[in-house]
Structure 1
Amino acid sequence: MNSRIVSLALAAFLLGGCSLIPAYERPAMPVAAQYPEVPDSGAQPVASLAWRSFFRDPALQPLIETALRNNRDLRVATLNVAAYQARYRIRQADLLPQVTADASGSRQRLPADLSPGGQANTEGQYRVGLNMSYELDLFGRVHSLSEEALQQYLATSQAQRTVQISLIANVANAWLTWQADQQLLKLTRSTVDTYQQSYQLTQRSADVGTATLLAVRQTETLLREAQSRYQQYLRQVAEDRNLLVMLLGADLPAGSQMAAQAPSPLSEIPVGLPSDLLNQRPDILQAEHQLMAANADIGAARAAFFPRISLTAAGGTSSSELAGLFNAGSGSWLFAPQISLPIFNAGSLQASLDAAKITRDINVARYEGAIQTGFREVSDGLAATATHRRQVEAQQQLVTASNEYYRLAEARYHTGVDSSLTLLDAQRTLFSAQQGLISERLAERIAAVDLYKALGGGWQG
């Protein structure tokens, strides 16, 4: 009899697999074929450019490694992937027959007034066997639910990649900001010392009548402003460090507290075409998998209109005595198919199908929106990197000119040609230009990091 059960299970399994899931077609890209004013470079996709190759700073790489090990947001995203993987395995198990081995036994004493023979007696019943249950998936309901779970699992894995890319970019931006603020702090400290000397010199000159009170107050104004900026940068450096610690999920590695220095250059970014985003930006891939999951839900909703056929079978041995379980003639079997056909449900099945179709349409809009967002972010990043590069060059020229202006003003002041007001203006102009150069260099590097992130890079080690 066990061979009959196996044969029935195999036949039911082979009959299953019909799917009512609509044929999936990827929606057309709702963006231009090329980025504004950027021709196709023909380079490799940025997703193949590992973050270690892009972020070449030897001081930054250990920080990214620490964040990837310890960051709590990334840990939650990883656990979500594991949870959806388990849910998919549960749905996969529903495609196969469920077989259990059971053993049961009971003894019962009936009093004389309840016994059919009018005498008290004791009865026993024992059973050992295999039980099988299986839904014959003729219309693909179980298969559709399994496909939906698979696509949700794949979508969650892409969400994990999104978190990882964002984490790497955030660590890099926080590190670059920390370095820039340290440079600003060092520059401001030097400027405060210079203004302090100028203030003391102007004060002594006013005491002997060679400088006016206006010059003293103007010099003091510059000094107090620089001192205020110094405290501001002290606060920013501390906040930058705290942000890094939070992103890393641990304290900074030994040796990270270093003097301000110019960071290592970033690699060139291969841009490619907007169509590359479909295969490299994880948020777009996540949206597409969610769209495919919604498409599979339509198949499950359609299958609900058709009969559900369940097969239950059991085979084993039974006896009234434990010692007689395996005697000849003690075999037993059961085969109980069941069919359930929906007749009246007040329109709930149609409503479920309508809801599944609407959900699919919503996910189409989300998918198209993800593409448009990615296209805009890349376009903005390209514009930012190009203009920041030219702005850094212009700012560098401004620093050179301001430095020459300060040198000439200082020489003319010491020879008595110009007043201290010209020298003060030159000092203020040079300080402002130097601050602007540090800030603009930081903006250029952050724009490059954001473009790398927008193109879908950063998830490979």
Structure 2
Amino acid sequence: MWWRRCRARAGKPRLGSCRGRPHRRREIDVKTPFTVSGLLAACLLTGCAVGPDYHRPTVQTPSTFRAPTPQPTPEAASLADLKWWEVFKDEKLQELIRTSLVENYDLRDAVARVEAARANLGITRSDQFPNAEVGGSLTTTRLSRNGQLPLPVSFVPSQNRTFGQATLNLLSFEVDIWGRLRRATEAARANLLGAEENRKAVVTTLVSDVATSYFSLRELDYELEISKETLGTRQESLRLIQTRQGGGVATLLDLRQGEQLVDTAAETIPQLQQRIEQTENQISLLLGKNPGEVIRGRSLTEQELTPEVPTGLPSALLERRPDIRAAEQNLVAANAEIGVAKAAYFPQISLSGFLGGQSTQLSSLFSAPSRVWTLTPQVTQPVFTAGRLKSNVKFTEAQRQSALIQYQKAIQTGFTDVSNALIAHQRVRESRVQQELLVTALADRKRLAYVRYRGGVDTLLNALDADRDLFQAQLALSQIRLNEVLSVVQLYKALGGGWQ
């Protein structure tokens, strides 16, 4: 029985929880030496609280993260342990990130939510303590001598009567025997911790988004540089074709093909400029600024990133990623809400009253004859609620189950993100090596093709094809280099880095 559990826990130094089936009838053994007051005192002293205590769910973590090649033996060190300025060493990028951490709207909103959750915790926790207020008043009353009951002068010398009062009010203090208020405070505290973890998650995402947008901007700058260089070489080739066509060596078809390549290279430049300007606007929004130009630092090929990407222990991911910790705090809050719902089955005991004095003389306001006080204990026990209390318990239990599922999903999402980032990092690196070999080969092919064309050994078609293939391969290599850099950014974010 619930009262026997409370009595057993009263003798233990460790706090516990009283649990029982509140919808079942309870019987008290008349032979027990405990009185009702003793039972209440025991519950108060031992922190008796209905509802389940929180225990972290058991999670099966993999021994290593999945990657294309077997990972070395996991070590405690992780890429996420580095501060973001130790990972991203471009000074201009660091300035952008620092600005975003101060001015970004999403982060400022997350900070405001933390403050709101902290204030809500204070409001909820205050219900556990007595609320007192001090009041005072001064009242003057004039009595009529010619009213319903005539008052002679000898009986009432003065028609005016003035008296004052001072009171100390105790406003409805609830005796938290069943732990309803403590469970509510536990839920509010978990919501505060969850809001703080969400703030850290916003910081992690913000650092990743600024770095991703900055590297994308530098990649577009690199593509624009390639396009302008290609346009310059194609214009020189067009002038050569025009010279040969004027001398009767090249045909009009050769001229039109040369013009086509020039126009193709020129057409890509406005497109790239459009994407560059829009990316700058995106970065400005992340920085909380009006659209404008973004300062540049190192080029895409000069970016210095960490050569090694240790992942750390998979089990440490549960403690490092803010989104996983936020999901766990949501589970803690939902678990505590069950106790709040179950406490509604039990009597609610509250105390209210005031202590003070009333007197016509200030000197005697606090004397014994002038003292007034009242104390009103109140007990409220639900008798018939048409299943509302039972449904409320089922509702909170369903919410806890939903929070548990979200917590488990967050964990699996974390493992998946890390694995995807590791796969991308290795595969993109392999692709970059092969693409660099291809660009080298195409550059040499283009050189040889134009040498043969100038010497009259080969047609212009082969030279134009080599030029076109090299241009596309250079743009593809630029994109692959960007993806390689972004794979490090995504791995850093997936491991939970960036919020430190």
Give the TM-score normalised by structure 1. 0.91
Residue in 1 aligned with 2:433? 393
Residue in 2 aligned with 1:175? 214
- Is the Cα–Cα contact under 8 Å of residues 409 and 422 in structure 1 kept in the other structure? yes
C-alpha displacement of 1:13 = 11
The alignment yields a C-alpha RMSD, in angstroms, of: 2.4
1:235 to 274, 278, 283: 274
1:5-404 maps to which residues of 2 (within 5 A)?
15=45, 17-29=47-59, 32-36=62-66, 37-111=70-144, 121-133=159-171, 134-250=173-289, 256-257=295-296, 260=299, 262-267=301-306, 268-322=308-362, 324-404=364-444
Residue in 1 aligned with 2:36? none
More divergent stretch after superposition (130-139 vs 295-304): 130-139
C-alpha displacement of 1:264 = 2.6
Give unpaired runs (5+ residues) of structure 2. Answer: 1-40
- Is the Cα–Cα contact under 8 Å of residues 191 and 431 in structure 1 kept in the other structure? yes
Alpha-carbon distance between aligned partners in 2 of 1:70 and 1:60, rounded to the nearest angstrom: 15
3-state DSSP of counterpart to 2:134: strand
More divergent stretch after superposition (40-49 vs 433-442): 40-49
- Is the Cα–Cα contact under 8 Å of residues 281 and 291 in structure 2 kept in the other structure? no
- Is the Cα–Cα contact under 8 Å of residues 324 and 410 in structure 2 kept in the other structure? yes
- Is the Cα–Cα contact under 8 Å of residues 15 and 137 in structure 1 kept in the other structure? no
Deviations 1:186-210 (A, max 9, x none): 1101111111121232233233321
Q: Which amino acid aligns with 2:98?
A: E
- Is the Cα–Cα contact under 8 Å of residues 93 and 297 in structure 2 kept in the other structure? no
C-alpha displacement of 1:342 = 0.8
Residue in 2 aligned with 1:420? 460
Alpha-carbon distance between aligned partners in 2 of 1:13 and 1:131, rounded to the nearest angstrom: 27
Deviations 1:349-402 (A, max 9, x none): 111111000000010111111111111111111100010111111111111111
CA distance 1:284–1:206, shift in 2 (3 Å): same
C-alpha displacement of 1:275 = 1.9
Residue in 1 aligned with 2:11? none
Q: Which amino acid aligns with 1:75?
A: R
- Is the Cα–Cα contact under 8 Å of residues 183 and 438 in structure 1 kept in the other structure? yes
CA distance 1:353–1:273, shift in 2 (3 Å): same
Give unpaired runs (5+ residues) of structure 1. Answer: 1-10
Q: Which amino acid aligns with 1:157?
A: E
Residue in 1 aligned with 2:5? none
CA distance 1:53–1:155, shift in 2 (3 Å): same
More divergent stretch after superposition (20-29 vs 89-98): 20-29
Alpha-carbon distance between aligned partners in 1 of 2:287 and 2:229, rounded to the nearest angstrom: 32
C-alpha displacement of 1:117 = 6.5
C-alpha displacement of 1:126 = 2.2
Residue in 2 aligned with 1:440? 480
Give the TM-score normalised by structure 2. 0.84
- Is the Cα–Cα contact under 8 Å of residues 12 and 136 in structure 1 kept in the other structure? no
Residue in 2 aligned with 1:5? none
Q: Which amino acid aligns with 1:130?
A: L
C-alpha displacement of 1:257 = 4.2
- Is the Cα–Cα contact under 8 Å of residues 30 and 372 in structure 1 kept in the other structure? no
- Is the Cα–Cα contact under 8 Å of residues 197 and 325 in structure 2 kept in the other structure? yes
C-alpha displacement of 1:415 = 2.0
Q: Which amino acid aligns with 1:217?
A: R
Q: Which amino acid aligns with 2:81?
A: S
C-alpha displacement of 1:122 = 4.4
C-alpha displacement of 1:107 = 2.6
3-state DSSP of counterpart to 1:336: strand
Alpha-carbon distance between aligned partners in 2 of 1:383 and 1:257, rounded to the nearest angstrom: 30
Alpha-carbon distance between aligned partners in 1 of 2:208 and 2:146, rounded to the nearest angstrom: 84
C-alpha displacement of 1:44 = 1.7
CA distance 1:146–1:115, shift in 2 (3 Å): farther
3-state DSSP of counterpart to 1:311: strand
3-state DSSP of counterpart to 1:103: strand
- Is the Cα–Cα contact under 8 Å of residues 129 and 317 in structure 1 kept in the other structure? yes
Alpha-carbon distance between aligned partners in 2 of 1:113 and 1:236, rounded to the nearest angstrom: 94
C-alpha displacement of 1:129 = 2.7
3-state DSSP of counterpart to 1:42: coil
CA distance 1:360–1:76, shift in 2 (3 Å): same
- Percent same amino acid among aligned pairs? 37
Q: Which amino acid aligns with 2:235?
A: Q
Q: Which amino acid aligns with 2:114?
A: V
Residue in 1 aligned with 2:493? 453
C-alpha displacement of 1:169 = 0.5
- Is the Cα–Cα contact under 8 Å of residues 230 and 471 in structure 2 kept in the other structure? yes
